[in-house]
Amino acid sequence: MTLRVARLHGARDVRLHDEPIPTPNANESLVRISAVGICGSDLHWFSDAGIGDARLERPLILGHEFAGVVETTGHRVAVDPLISCGVCEPCREGKSNLCAAQRFAGHGADDGALRDYIAWRNECFFPLPDTLSDEEGAMLEPLGVAIHAVRLANIEPGMTVGVFGCGPIGLLIAQVARVSGAARVIATEKLAHRIDAAKQFGAEIFLGDGDEARAILSATQQRGVDVAFEVAGEQAAVDAALASVKPGGCVILAGIPAEDRTSFAASIARRKELTIKLVRRMRDTYPRAIHLVTSGQVDVRSLITHRFPLEKTGEAFAVAQRREGIKVMVIC
């Protein structure tokens, strides 16, 4: 038997192939993929044939936001795309996302989920309640990134939070920050449909036009925000975040820059004595993510704006790259 796979052969070159169905190893099961979200990091692979210092060395199957059905049990599951070693120092410290020997679906030597079937580790499966669709199951991975980013920020009740960039992760951070006690969420964005989405979640919106920091300071009586999340992957958003955060505040850099380099004005960061943290994927978030969605505290369904079949994966990437919607989903 064969399965269909969508492999990236080079920049903007996605091809559909027929390949043998993988055979699970010990502690693995075969999962029939049902839904795969296209992530911003996937778009770096698609447009540049790499991300950061990782380059495309062979045709790669992308896709790390996914849900499916375990063949042996018939259970619907969301799948954690990270397999950690469990024995290195970061793993022993409870930081599996920093594992020195990690495997990650759709990165390096490990093919991802843009195919009909994948063989993956059993401990990475999280059963989906009947109230969650497979598409919502795939959204639990980006929600996990948002949960991890907010956790790094140590948000306390009553804080004012800034979100610089309202793509899927930014919109999820805005929601999780509210759940975590933020009294006010201020967001910046350029695209009208994403501005509308942020307003739906109660955010105050300022246009990302280069003058947003001044507008935010004015709106906060020159105090600034307690925590600033940069989620655009653009230098302008980094600059605006640092300019908008209060003295002694925290800046969380969650965006992935195209040029693999982020800079900031040392004088601003030093004089404000800012804490700057960067986000590396997520860890131990699936149970909380499932609770937040099933309890209605976080809405992931409305973020899914486009759906494509597997055979149109290339078109799905093109739409996502043009930022025509919010979350683009491939349905297998």
Length of the chain: 332
Q: Which residue has the tokens 């948002």?
A: 146
Q: Which residue has the tokens 């975590």?
A: 180
Q: Which residue has the tokens 């951070």?
A: 173
Let me know whether 308 and 272 are in one domain: no
Residue 284 forms part of a structural domain: no
Q: Which amino acid is at 135?
A: E
Residue 320 forms part of a structural domain: yes
Report the distance separating Cα 266 and Cα 238, nearest Å: 12
Let me know whether 35 and 132 are in one domain: yes
Within a 10 A sphere around the Cβ of 118, how many other Cβ atoms?
Answer: 29
Residue 194 forms part of a structural domain: yes
Boundaries of domain holding 93: 2-139+300-331
CATH assignment at residue 185: 3.40.50.720
CATH assignment at residue 321: 3.90.180.10
Residue 170 forms part of a structural domain: yes
Q: Which residue has the tokens 């920091």?
A: 213
Report the distance separating Cα 76 and Cα 229, nearest Å: 33
Let me know whether 124 and 191 are in one domain: no
Let me know whether 74 and 44 are in one domain: yes
Let me know whether 187 and 217 are in one domain: yes
Let me know whether 157 and 135 are in one domain: no
Predicted confidence at residue 1, as pLDDT, reads: 76
Task: Label residue 295 exposed, middle or buried (CB < 10 Å: 0-12, 13-18, 19+).
Answer: exposed
Report the distance separating Cα 304 and Cα 184, nearest Å: 25
For the chain, the first-to-last Cα distance in angstroms comes to: 17
The helix/strand count (H/E) of the chain reads as 11, 20
What stretches in the chain show pLDDT beneath 50? none
Q: Phi first, then psi: give them for residue 198, nearest 5 degrees.
A: -65, -40
Let me know whether 98 and 214 are in one domain: no
Let me know whether 13 and 99 are in one domain: yes
Report the distance separating Cα 242 and Cα 276, nearest Å: 9
Is the CB of residue 143 less than 8 Å from the CB of residue 298?
yes
Let me know whether 150 and 272 are in one domain: yes
Residue 287 forms part of a structural domain: no
Let me know whether 135 and 160 are in one domain: no
Q: Which residue has the tokens 């501005």?
A: 195
Residue 291 forms part of a structural domain: no
Predicted confidence at residue 246, as pLDDT, reads: 98
Residue 233 forms part of a structural domain: yes
Q: Are strands 28-37 and 117-121 parallel, antiparallel or unpaired?
A: antiparallel
Q: Is the pTM of this model over 0.85?
A: yes
Domains in the chain, number: 2
pLDDT digits over 41-81, tens only? 999 999 999 999 999 999 999 999 999 999 999 999 999 99
Residue 289 forms part of a structural domain: no
pLDDT digits over 75-103, tens only? 999 999 999 999 999 999 999 999 999 99
Let me know whether 94 and 195 are in one domain: no
Let me know whether 77 and 199 are in one domain: no
Report the distance separating Cα 261 and Cα 124, nearest Å: 32
Report the distance separating Cα 253 and Cα 274, nearest Å: 13
